[in-house]
Amino acid sequence: MTAFFAASIGSFGGGHARTALTTYLADDVTPWLLSGAGERIHGQLLTHAAQLTILLGNMSADDGAVALAQHYHRTAAHLAAEAEDPHTHTIALRALASHALELGHQRPALTLAQQAAGTAARYSSELTQSFTQTQLALAHAHAGDRPRALLALHSAELLHSRADQDPADPFDSYPTAALHHQRARTLTALGDHRAAGHAFQASLRARAPQARRARALTTALLATSQLRQGNLEESLTTWKRFLGDYPGLRSARATDSLTTMRQVLRPYRDRPGVALLIEEAASL
């Protein structure tokens, strides 16, 4: 079920199957947690419940339910701690750090990212360490600390390069496309838009075909980066690719990207093709 719901958010967005996961946790998983299973089985149930709750938090964040996302990620951290599972606890902390940064809470985001990276260094695989280091890099970049941001990014890339991938386990994998995406976001926060654009393109080249949500969000960020560099024609081509992935997604973040597209292109609506693209976006 963990693999199923992780694949669901990747392909269709957080609004798809979120109610189903909520119901599954309430109707099936919670009774199992209360069933009086032996210590070993109970610990395993707690771990899987924590992982499913992390996914529910991710779905909620992607679907625009901010308060619910924070609640679920905190609950997941408590479940993982009760299970005495530092690896899953690390993932929950990283999720909290990511969400805090998205909301503009830079200091808590940095503290949580540091906690996640520190725990991962002691208890998790190299892939998970890389996963936490990229979030630490982004937090440092938003705090204006370029040296620490680049150091964490270098550490993440080094850890990733020597790790073994296990794509079958959504809680112990970190796709190359995701690494490039986070590198691009860090470089964007540092103001290096040209290098960020190259990293976004690398992410798109490495992205799995079924990862439509991530591809759409990355494409939107690339189009914005190209426009910042004055490359209107390239940006228009990239926005067209975004519109190709958008239909069928149930993702507030993707909808926000669509709104961003209309806003950033509005000053250019007298240029060839721009008005038509804005109209197409409006129709969606």
Contacts of 64 by beta carbon, 8 Å cutoff, 6+ apart: 252, 253
Virtual torsion, Cα 168, 171, 174, 175, nearest 10 deg: 40
Cα distance between residue 53 and residue 62, in whole Å: 14
Phi, psi of 104 (to 5 degrees): 90, 10
Q: With contact defined as beta carbons under 8 Å apart, do 160 and 182 qualify?
A: no
Over residues 67-81, the mean pLDDT reads 97
Could you tell me if residue 262 is inside a domain? no
Could you tell me if residue 156 is inside a domain? yes
Cα distance between residue 22 and residue 24, in whole Å: 6
- pLDDT digits 0-9 by tens, 76-135: 999 999 999 999 999 999 999 999 999 999 999 999 999 999 999 999 999 999 999 999
What region does 17 belong to: left with phi over 0, alpha with psi -120 to 50, or beta?
A: left
Residue type, 238: T
Q: Which domain holds residue 164?
A: 2-210
User: What pLDDT is recorded for position 166?
Assistant: 64
Could you tell me if residue 22 is inside a domain? yes
Burial degree of 232 (CB within 10 A; 0-12, 13-18, 19+): middle
Report how many domains make up the chain: 1
Which CATH number characterizes residue 46's domain?
1.25.40.10
- pLDDT digits 0-9 by tens, 220-269: 999 999 999 999 999 999 999 999 999 989 999 999 999 999 999 999 99
Can you tell me whether residue 95 is helix, strand or coil? helix
pTM equals 0.94
Could you tell me if residue 240 is inside a domain? no
**CA neighbours within 13 Å on the CB side: how many for 265?**
32
Could you tell me if residue 23 is inside a domain? yes
Could you tell me if residue 168 is inside a domain? yes
Could you tell me if residue 238 is inside a domain? no
- Give the rounded percent of residues in the chain with a pLDDT score beyond 70: 99
Q: With contact defined as beta carbons under 8 Å apart, do 202 and 157 qualify?
A: no
Could you tell me if residue 176 is inside a domain? yes
- Taking the CA atoms of 284, 102, 164 and 156 in sequence, report the sign of the dihedral they define: positive
Structure tokens, 38:
């032996």
- pLDDT digits 0-9 by tens, 161-190: 998 776 668 888 899 999 999 999 999 999
Mean residue pLDDT of the chain comes to 95
Q: DSSP characters for 261-272?
A: HHHHHGGGTTST
